[in-house]
Structure 1
Amino acid sequence: MKRLRPLAQAASIAIHPLGVEELFGLFDPVFSRRQLRGVVTEVVRETPQSATIYFRPGYGWRTHKAGQWARIGVEINGVRHWRSYSISSAPGQHPSVTVTDIGEVSSTLVHNTRVGDVLFLAPAQGEFTLPEEARPLLMMTAGSGITPVMSMIRTLIPHQKTADVVLIHSARTEEDSLFVDELRALSAKFPGLRLVENFTGVSERFDMSTPAQLDAVCPDWRTRAAYVCGPEGFVSDAEALWTRSGTGAAGLTIERFHTELNAGEPGAGGLVTFELSDKEVEADGESTLLEIGEDAGILMPSGCRMGICHSCLTPLRAGQVRDLRTGEVHGEPGELIQTCVSAAAGSVNLGL
């Protein structure tokens, strides 16, 4: 081994001032042992306000499960912002996220992403996944809630002859509906997928106030493994229907994209200190601590803005927070708080 040292020293001198990792980075932009990255390989326009972004992940990425989501980081004006997006591709394919233009980060991804761009990544996670044993499925989605379900359909329908999936999808118009052509083609080709479309801009919303409409389109819905994904109102209606039917909301697997938050207290915020990241941010009393941290470029633990997933739980080191669902002000040192529904109520120190 001693004979190799002069060669190693010569190589180090030859690439100075670059380190070995920086040198590999010249040849492969996603090579990094410190930060998971992916290079964009394709951008597909889905609707005028949405796009699917395919990427080749680098070292450290593990194949996702159908239905999971990942944190995507993008730099805007020199600050790295992180957001959660459902993965729409099937496992084993180049991963992709389908993004709708809602907010600054999503807008940047939809309209400015180009092939060759580098995205910052966090590992895929989430429990909105297919059952371990094959069984008939009912999928109910609205808007961009189709995204994680699309990963499931791409996984099941073309590859499992015994697949039995009823998909009820709601969108405002046909032009706004994600994956509409692909879903229709899959439904026409494979008898294992039955597609029910509901365009609320031209007809009534799918009625879940009683079981009647669901009985008409899927008579055996009570015995199927059911998945619901979409806005808060849509998901809440489904929960209520399952509860009234006697099957119980526990029979649903749910993914919410938004939760209903009340207005905070303007001017009631304070200085938020992210102790482990060594950052301080002045916060208002209306923005969630999750948003405050993400806008400061901090990789915040989070699943989605559902407020009940608890993957965003963070130690409160000092100060108090306001729960934007109830208005309650609370907080004790060491308490775990949900940053996705909490705003600063004065100065706050977080264990991030």
Structure 2
Amino acid sequence: MFHPLRVSEVERLTDDSVAVTFAVPHELREAFRHTPGQHLTMRRATAGGEEIRRTYSICAPAAPADADPVLRVGIRLVDGGEFSTYALKELAVGDTVDVMEPMGRFLLAPRQGYFAAVVGGSGITPVLSMAATLLAREPEARFCLIRSDRTAASTMFLDEVADLKDRYPGRFQLVTVLSREEQQAGLPSGRLDQERLTELLPALLPVGDVDGWYLCGPFGLVLGAERALRGLGVDRGRIHQEIFHVDDGSSATAARAGGAPSHATLTAKLDGRSGTWPVEKDESLLETVLRARSDAPYACKGGVCGTCRAFLVSGEVRMDRNYALEPEETGAGYVLACQSHPVTPDVELDFDR
């Protein structure tokens, strides 16, 4: 469900990024209480009347139960991005934005342990919330942050990360790599690919002792980090990932190439109500639902955010790509409606599970 929230602060972080804070009315404080790692979906109507939705991770620490939640997100300008351009060039204090309640399964609920993250660019946003909340609430917990950015000037949340290092010197480890700029001290410049991470990670920390790895950022970085960790013997269950950007060439589009029935019907349950509709040629199951139910959940439509997750009750589908669901979720029967196409004549989804 979307709620109109007033912008209370817009802070310039770098030349191409801002942090936006929303005021949360008292009656919505519980609805907008978040777990570290969750994101917000925002919507805006364009000049042509089209609705666009984008998701941005919450960077603020999770508020204690007796305090009001703080909704602060980091937004980086994307070439051709309608919402990010609007946020950087037009959005101002006092404006109102339609915001959906926090969602997402890229989570680190505070608990004792040793945790680490490999992030690139704006991938720092959810991890900042994770680290800040964890270190504040769990006095014995430790966190190692390995971050990659192009240059020092393009690095988001420099002050916030430096503050964590100053406040928790014995429990927070920071490693910074710049891909396009040499540092006066620290690691040499260059990309953090699989080969480099395989060599670097064991030199920085005891890889096998880490209770949870959190990977966030561009597709190439996340994929390389996951492969490096698996090669170092890390169990898949300890690796959590969220991808912010996926190049078109990285997706598997075979789902539309063949195997689809000539006529298919979708039955879907959403908010307790069911409906049945014909699936038109080449459309995703999410598009089928949206033709009749404008309240169907979605954000990116790219298989990345996971907002459109649904349980496959019956039938068979094929997904174009999946960068949001964990193997355990797909194994349990969940699919991404925005990427799913029918393989059998009849398919049933449940968005409420």
TM-score, scaled relative to structure 2: 0.69
Q: Alpha carbons of 1:208 and 1:85: their partners in 2 closer, same or farther (altered >3 Å)? A: same
Q: Distance in 1 between matches of 2:299 and 2:45?
A: 20
Unaligned runs of 5+ in 2: 64-68, 182-188, 257-267, 271-279, 323-332, 343-347
Q: Distance in 2 between matches of 1:82 and 1:293?
A: 17
- Secondary structure (helix, strand or coil) at the match of 1:140 reads strand
Q: Which moved more, 1:168-177 or 1:152-161?
A: 152-161
CA offset at residue 157 of structure 1? Answer: 3.2
Q: Alpha carbons of 1:146 and 1:123: their partners in 2 closer, same or farther (altered >3 Å)? A: same
In the TM superposition, what are the counterparts of 1:194-273 in structure 2 within 5 Å?
A: 194-202=173-181, 203-209=189-195, 211-218=198-205, 220-225=206-211, 226-259=213-246, 260-261=250-251
Q: Distance in 2 between matches of 1:182 and 1:138?
A: 17
- Specify the alignment match of 1:347 in structure 2: none
CA offset at residue 40 of structure 1? Answer: 0.4
Q: Please give the per-residue CA displacement for 1:49-100, whole angstroms capped at 9, x wherever unaligned.
A: 1111100123443311111112112232244422111111112242111111
- Specify the alignment match of 1:178 in structure 2: 156
- Secondary structure (helix, strand or coil) at the match of 1:65 reads coil
- Specify the alignment match of 1:154 in structure 2: 132
- Corresponding position: 1:53 with 2:20: yes
Q: Alpha carbons of 1:309 and 1:50: their partners in 2 closer, same or farther (altered >3 Å)? A: closer
Q: Which amino acid aligns with 1:201?
A: R
- Specify the alignment match of 2:263 in structure 1: none
Q: Distance in 1 between matches of 2:149 and 2:53?
A: 27
- Secondary structure (helix, strand or coil) at the match of 1:236 reads helix
- Corresponding position: 1:37 with 2:4: yes
Q: Alpha carbons of 1:245 and 1:105: their partners in 2 closer, same or farther (altered >3 Å)? A: same
Q: Distance in 2 between matches of 1:301 and 1:155?
A: 28
Q: Distance in 1 between matches of 2:175 and 2:287?
A: 36
Q: Distance in 2 between matches of 1:258 and 1:246?
A: 27
- Secondary structure (helix, strand or coil) at the match of 1:157 reads helix
- Secondary structure (helix, strand or coil) at the match of 2:101 reads coil
Q: Distance in 2 between matches of 1:141 and 1:223?
A: 19
Aligned equivalent of 1:95, options 68, 71, 96: 71
Count of residues in correspondence between the two structures: 305
Unaligned runs of 5+ in 1: 1-33, 266-274, 277-282, 327-334, 345-349
Q: Distance in 1 between matches of 2:104 and 2:153?
A: 29
Instruction: Check whether the contact 1:207–1:213 (CA below 8 A) recurs between aligned residues.
Output: no
- Specify the alignment match of 1:329 in structure 2: none
Instruction: Check whether the contact 1:140–1:169 (CA below 8 A) recurs between aligned residues.
Output: yes
- Specify the alignment match of 1:301 in structure 2: 297
Q: Distance in 2 between matches of 1:238 and 1:51?
A: 27
CA offset at residue 211 of structure 1? Answer: 2.8
CA offset at residue 128 of structure 1? Answer: 1.5
Q: Distance in 2 between matches of 1:251 and 1:311?
A: 23
Q: Alpha carbons of 1:79 and 1:200: their partners in 2 closer, same or farther (altered >3 Å)? A: same
Q: Which amino acid aligns with 2:57?
A: S
CA offset at residue 303 of structure 1? Answer: 6.6
Q: Alpha carbons of 1:134 and 1:121: their partners in 2 closer, same or farther (altered >3 Å)? A: same
- Secondary structure (helix, strand or coil) at the match of 1:147 reads helix
- Specify the alignment match of 1:66 in structure 2: 36
Q: Please give the per-residue CA displacement for 1:76-130, whole angstroms capped at 9, x wherever unaligned.
A: 2244422111111112242111111121112112221100111111111112221
Q: Distance in 1 between matches of 2:73 and 2:304?
A: 23
TM-score, scaled relative to structure 1: 0.69
Q: Alpha carbons of 1:134 and 1:142: their partners in 2 closer, same or farther (altered >3 Å)? A: same
Instruction: Check whether the contact 1:258–1:306 (CA below 8 A) recurs between aligned residues.
Output: no
Q: Alpha carbons of 1:315 and 1:207: their partners in 2 closer, same or farther (altered >3 Å)? A: closer
- Secondary structure (helix, strand or coil) at the match of 1:257 reads strand
Q: Alpha carbons of 1:289 and 1:201: their partners in 2 closer, same or farther (altered >3 Å)? A: farther
- Corresponding position: 1:127 with 2:114: no
Instruction: Check whether the contact 1:74–1:119 (CA below 8 A) recurs between aligned residues.
Output: yes
Q: Alpha carbons of 1:289 and 1:114: their partners in 2 closer, same or farther (altered >3 Å)? A: farther
Q: Which moved more, 1:152-161 or 1:123-132?
A: 152-161
CA offset at residue 153 of structure 1? Answer: 2.1
Q: Please give the per-residue CA displacement for 1:226-248, whole angstroms capped at 9, x wherever unaligned.
A: 11111111111122122222222
Instruction: Check whether the contact 1:261–1:341 (CA below 8 A) recurs between aligned residues.
Output: no
Q: Alpha carbons of 1:85 and 1:246: their partners in 2 closer, same or farther (altered >3 Å)? A: same
Q: Which moved more, 1:80-89 or 1:137-146?
A: 80-89
CA offset at residue 163 of structure 1? Answer: 3.2
Q: Which amino acid aligns with 1:197?
A: T
Q: Percent identical across equivalent pairs?
A: 29
- Specify the alignment match of 1:83 in structure 2: 54
